[in-house]
Amino acid sequence: MINLLRRVWDRVTLYLPVFLMGVLAMATYWLVRSTPIVARPRPVAAAQHKPDYFMRNFAVKTFDAAGKLKSEVKGTEARHYPDTNMLEIESVQIRSFDVQGRLTTASARLAITNEDASEVQLIGTAQVMRAPVAGPAGVAEPALTFAGEYLYAFIHAERVISNKPVELTRGQDRFTADNMDFDNLQRVMLLKGRVKGILLPAARP
- Could you tell me what percent of the chain has a pLDDT over 90? 19
> According to the model, what pLDDT value does residue 29 have?
60
Q: pLDDT band for position 115 (50/70/90)? A: confident
pLDDT of 132: 84
**Extended strands (E) in the chain:** 53-63, 69-81, 86-97, 103-113, 119-130, 133-134, 140-141, 144-154, 159-162, 166-170, 173-177, 179-183, 188-192, 196-198
The string of pLDDT tens digits covering residues 37-95 is 555 555 555 667 888 888 899 888 888 888 888 888 889 998 988 888 888 999 998 88
Number of domains the chain is built from = 1
Rounded average pLDDT over 130-142: 74
pTM (whole model) above 0.85: no
pLDDT score for 196: 92
Q: Is residue 205 in some structural domain?
A: no
In a domain, 173, yes or no: yes
Provide the CATH number for the domain around residue 160: 2.60.450.10
Q: What is the pLDDT of residues 186-198, one digit of tens each?
A: 878 888 999 998 8
Confirm whether 147 is domain-assigned: yes
> What's the mean per-residue pLDDT of the chain?
78
In a domain, 152, yes or no: yes
Look at residue 110 and tell me if it is in a domain. yes
- For residue 162, pLDDT over 80 is answered with yes
Q: What is the pLDDT of residue 138?
A: 67
pLDDT in tens, 17-36: 565 666 666 666 666 565 55
| pLDDT class of 10 with cuts at 50, 70, 90 | very low
Q: First and final CA of the chain: distance in angstroms? A: 21
Instruction: Please state the rounded mean pLDDT for residues 160-170.
Output: 91
Is 45 part of any domain? no
Nearest Cα neighbor of 73 from 95, 90, 98, 103 is 95
Question: Residue 136 falls within a domain, yes or no?
Answer: yes
Range of the structural domain that residue 134 is part of:
2-34+51-198
